[in-house]
């Protein structure tokens, strides 16, 4: 019986090879967008970064009206994380942390509801840096490795991290080798340094250098400027020598980038998105934010302006 159970567990353990992945994106990667990405063809979806201490303030609750699992902030009743069965085997929770004990507590708290745990080691924003999280954690490689090691040893689901590159390929590889020694199952590499911004060219050569030299899957990230259709994803794979690609902005703008059959017009994407937002009772402010990010310049058109004036999910719809 034990053998049987462990075979089943092995079968459903998430694999990071040959995958097209929705990147973690604050405010964008909430449940409706993740489900939309999966329905369009993404293989794995990351949550937005969730901060450990905020998560630890929450209580887990099964929502039998929506059939979702909700982690509800006990101080103000907001939903920190909502998930459902449809994404259970494909959703990776990204954690913002700088502390082993807190990270482990969260990981154990959620491990039965998600398919993997990822530690954010790439965020260059002031909020993260001040808290010793994101790229600040990456700079403390020993501590970062130790957090990963503790998680790997104590949780039942795969552990990964998402990093930025360093100035040189050799420096990047040195840090990656340390992180990999923790036993993580994959590593997502955003091909920009901590000081580079989205408009800077992505260093596919450094991602490739690392991917050729380590034994776990490297998930290539940072290519959205050049990813305008599904074929471009394959080009990015070739340039980076990786079998898996993680997409952020291209999916934020038009989530149907995951469709093998080709992009849909944004009107269709907005409709598909709104259906899911209504079905899963997504907050009005988050729904509006995501639609605004799809509309971009079109917000200046009369229709766009009308949309901006909407206050409720009903009016948005
Ligand atoms: C991000 N990014 C990001 N990264 C991360 O590790 N955790 C996060 O929560 C976020 N949040 C976030 C929000 C938004 C709106 C954007 C546009 C980006 C960075 C993102 O995952 C990715 O690394 C970069 O955008 C580069 O990939 P693309 O955009 O070239 O595919």
Taking residues 178-191, report their average pLDDT: 98
- Residue with CA closest to ligand 1 atom 27: 222
- Residue with CA closest to ligand 1 atom 17: 249
Q: Write the CB contacts of 65 (distance below 8 Å, at least 6 apart in sequence).
A: none
Phi, psi for residue 112 in degrees, rounded to 5: -85, -5
Tell me, yes or no, whether 5 lies in a domain.
no
Tell me, yes or no, whether 6 lies in a domain.
no
Q: Do residues 87 and 45 touch, judged by C-beta distance below 8 A? A: yes
Pairwise pLDDT comparison (12 vs 237), residue with the higher score: 237
Tens of pLDDT along 125-162?
999 999 999 999 999 999 999 999 999 999 999 999 99
User: What was the pLDDT predicted at 12?
Assistant: 72
Instruction: Look at the alpha carbons of 299, 301, 303, 308 in this order and tell me if their dihedral is positive or negative.
Output: positive
User: What was the pLDDT predicted at 1?
Assistant: 52
Percentage of residues in the chain having pLDDT higher than 90: 89
The closest of 38, 47, 126, 137 to 87, measured between CA atoms, is: 38
Q: Which atom of ligand 1 is nearest to the CA of 94?
A: 7
Taking residues 175-199, report their average pLDDT: 97
Tell me, yes or no, whether 7 lies in a domain.
no
Taking residues 253-265, report their average pLDDT: 97
CATH of the domain at 239: 3.20.20.70
Question: For a substitution probing ligand 1, which of 20, 22, 24, 255 has the most ligand atoms within 8 Å of its CB?
Answer: 24
Q: Which pair of structure tokens corresponds to residue 138?
A: 């990456």
Q: Which atom of ligand 1 is nearest to the CA of 221?
A: 27
- Residue with CA closest to ligand 1 atom 19: 25
Structural domain tally of the chain? 1
Taking residues 241-269, report their average pLDDT: 97
In angstroms, what is the span from residue 168 Cα to ligand 1's centroid? 22
Tell me, yes or no, whether 36 lies in a domain.
yes
Q: Which atom of ligand 1 is nearest to the CA of 122?
A: 6
Tell me, yes or no, whether 214 lies in a domain.
yes
Tell me, yes or no, whether 238 lies in a domain.
yes
Tell me, yes or no, whether 23 lies in a domain.
yes
Tens of pLDDT along 194-250?
999 999 999 999 999 999 999 999 999 999 999 999 999 999 999 999 999 999 999
Domain hosting residue 251, numbered range: 15-264
How far apart (Å, rounded) are the C-alpha atoms in residues 203 and 276? 36
Tell me, yes or no, whether 290 lies in a domain.
no
Q: Which atom of ligand 1 is nearest to the CA of 28?
A: 15
Residues annotated as catalytic are 123
Tens of pLDDT along 69-109?
999 999 999 999 999 999 999 999 999 999 999 999 999 99
The residue with tokens 């490297």 is 218
Supply the mean pLDDT for the chain. 94
2, pLDDT greater than 60: no
How far apart (Å, rounded) are the C-alpha atoms in residues 204 and 197? 15
* ipTM of the complex in this document: 0.99
- Residue with CA closest to ligand 1 atom 25: 248
278, pLDDT greater than 70: yes
- Residue with CA closest to ligand 1 atom 12: 25
Taking residues 11-29, report their average pLDDT: 93
The residue with tokens 């450094």 is 206
The residue with tokens 């060219």 is 201
User: What was the pLDDT predicted at 3?
Assistant: 54
Residues with CB under 6 A from ligand 1: 23-26, 28, 48-49, 94, 120, 122-123, 162, 190, 198, 221-224, 247-250, 252
7, pLDDT greater than 50: no
User: What was the pLDDT predicted at 300?
Assistant: 80
Where does residue 162 fall: left (phi above 0), alpha (psi -120 to 50 degrees), or beta otherwise?
Answer: beta
Q: Do residues 276 and 35 touch, judged by C-beta distance below 8 A? A: yes
In angstroms, what is the span from residue 2 Cα to ligand 1's centroid? 41
């Amino acid at each position: 019986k034990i053998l049987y159970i462990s075979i089943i567990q092995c079968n459903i353990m998430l694999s990071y090879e040959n995958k097209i992945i929705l990147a973690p994106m604050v405010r964008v990667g909430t449940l409706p967008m993740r489900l939309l990405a999966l329905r369009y063809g993404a293989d794995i979806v990351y949550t937005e970064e969730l901060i450990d201490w905020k998560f630890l303030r929450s209580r887990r609750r099964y929502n039998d009206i929506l059939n979702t699992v909700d982690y509800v902030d006990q101080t103000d009743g907001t939903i920190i994380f909502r998930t459902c069965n449809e994404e259970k085997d494909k959703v990776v929770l990204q954690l913002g942390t700088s502390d082993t004990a807190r990270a482990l507590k969260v990981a154990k708290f959620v491990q039965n509801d998600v398919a993997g745990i990822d530690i954010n080691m790439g965020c260059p924003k002031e909020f993260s840096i001040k808290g010793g999280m994101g790229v600040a954690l990456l700079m403390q490689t020993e501590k970062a490795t130790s957090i990963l090691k503790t998680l790997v040893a104590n949780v039942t689901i795969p552990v990964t991290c998402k990093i930025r590159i360093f100035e040189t390929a050799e420096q990047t590889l040195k840090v990656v080798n340390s992180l990999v020694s923790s036993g993580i199952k994959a590593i997502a590499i955003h091909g920009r340094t901590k000081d580079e911004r989205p408009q800077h060219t992505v260093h596919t050569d450094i991602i490739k250098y690392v991917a050729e030299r380590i034994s776990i899957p490297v998930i290539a990230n940072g290519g959205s400027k050049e990813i305008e259709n599904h074929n471009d994803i394959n080009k990015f794979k070739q340039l980076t020598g990786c079998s898996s690609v993680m997409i952020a902005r291209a999916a934020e703008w038009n989530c149907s980038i995951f469709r093998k059959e080709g992009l849909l017009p944004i009107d269709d994407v907005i409709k598909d998105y709104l259906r899911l937002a209504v079905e899963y009772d997504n907050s009005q402010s988050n729904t509006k934010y995501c639609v605004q990010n799809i509309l971009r310049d079109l917000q200046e058109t009369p229709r766009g302006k009308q949309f901006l004036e909407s206050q409720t999910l009903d009016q948005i719809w």
